[in-house]
Amino acid sequence: MRRAVSVSLGSPRRDKQVVVELNGVEISVERIGTGGDARQARRLFAGLDGQVDALSVGGIDLYVRLDGRDYPVRSALPLVREVRQTPLVDGRLLKYVLERRVFELARPVLDEIPHFGRAFQPFTVDRTGLAEAVSTVITTSPRWQGRSFGINMMEAVLVAYAGRGRALTPQELGALVDEVQLKPEVICF
């Protein structure tokens, strides 16, 4: 069984481990939160390096992607400086791939691809009134055993599934999204 692990700066109360099967390949999907403890996150990354098939960073981005170029988030990079063997991702490449295709992938549930002249995307934790009024919620990842994992975790799952021992390119990720039929979650209220 392959193993993809996300070490997150977020709360350990959101930790979850599930086993999924993608085209006959079993993958243990595990999120470990550190409650903001950067030292613990560094220790976990160092200890898991070489022991799992893919690692991902949660709760912070390693890089910000703009116009096809990655800019480092200098405060995040020390968290992963000991990772030398295991492919490491932060979700930015899969986010780039999926956000462009989310409506196309959700089309079977929506009956058609929505067309927007303008869009307003609120941060729903901060704007619950707007969210309760937004009748459909579309996530970029599926729900597994009652949990929708972050995009960073989903990228690590695809890296583990591919089994190439390295991070994947946006083109490779796009092909795998189709191969494993990774679909967004559509929730209608």
Domain span including residue 37: 2-188
The encoded tokens of residue 59 equal 């709760």
Helix (H, G, I), strand (E, B) or coil at 175: helix
Structure tokens at 140: 């970029």
Provide the residue-wise pLDDT of the chain in tens; the chain has 189 residues.
Answer: 999 999 999 999 999 999 999 999 999 999 999 999 999 999 999 999 999 999 999 999 999 888 878 899 999 999 999 999 999 999 999 988 988 888 788 887 777 766 665 555 555 555 566 556 576 777 778 888 888 888 999 999 999 999 999 999 999 999 999 999 988 887 776
- Domains: count for the chain: 1
Q: Is the separation of the CB atoms in 28 and 3 below 8 Å?
A: yes
Q: Residue 78 has what DSSP assignment? A: G
Token output for 38: 């950067």
Phi then psi for 106, rounded to 5 degrees? -85, -5
Dihedral sign for Cα atoms in the order 57, 30, 148, 164: positive
Q: Inter-axis angle of helices 151-162 and 170-179, to 10 degrees?
A: 80
